[in-house]
Amino acid sequence: MKHILLVITTFLLASCTQQAAYRTDSGVVFGTYYKVIYASSENLHEGIKGALRSVNSSLSTFDSTSIISRINRNDTTVVVDSLFALVFTTAQQVSAQTNGAFDITVAPLVNAWGFGFDPTRKRTQSIIDSLKRCVGYQKVSLKANKVNKAIPCVQLDASAIAKGLGCDVVAQFLESKGVCHYLVDIGGEMRLKGANAQGNRWRVGVQQPTEDSLLVSNQVASILSVTDVGVATSGNYRQFYYQEGKKISHTIDPRLGTPCHHSLLSATVIAPTAMLADAYATAFMVIGNKDSICTIAQEQQLGVYLLYASQDSIESVCNPLFESYVN
Tens digit of each residue's pLDDT (9 = 90 or more) over 173-201: 999 999 999 999 999 999 999 999 999 99
Q: Rounded distance, CA 278 to CA 267, Å?
A: 10
Percentage of residues in the chain with pLDDT exceeding 90? Answer: 69
β-bridge partners, 247:
242
Q: How many domains would you assign to the chain?
A: 1
Q: Rounded distance, CA 170 to CA 226, Å?
A: 18
DSSP codes, 6-49: EE-S-------TT---EEEEEEEETTEEEEEEEE-SS--HHHHH
Residue 24 within a domain: yes
Q: How many residues does the chain have?
A: 327
- Identify the pLDDT of residue 17: 44
The DSSP call for residue 139 is G
- Asked if residue 127 has pLDDT above 50, the reply is yes
Residue 121 within a domain: no
- Identify the pLDDT of residue 19: 57
Which residue blocks in the chain are alpha helix, DSSP H? 45-59, 67-72, 82-97, 107-112, 125-132, 162-176, 274-287, 290-300, 320-323
Residue 88 within a domain: no
Residue 200 within a domain: yes
Q: Which domain holds residue 18?
A: 5-28+190-323
- Asked if residue 55 has pLDDT above 90, the reply is yes
**What's the pLDDT tens digit per position in 23-54?**
999 999 988 899 999 999 999 999 999 999 99
Residue 222 within a domain: yes
CATH assignment of the domain containing 210: 3.10.520.10
Residue that wins the pLDDT comparison between 154 and 8: 154
Categorise residue 233: left if φ over 0, alpha if ψ from -120 to 50, beta otherwise: beta
Mutual angle of helices 290-300 and 274-287, in 10-degree steps? 160
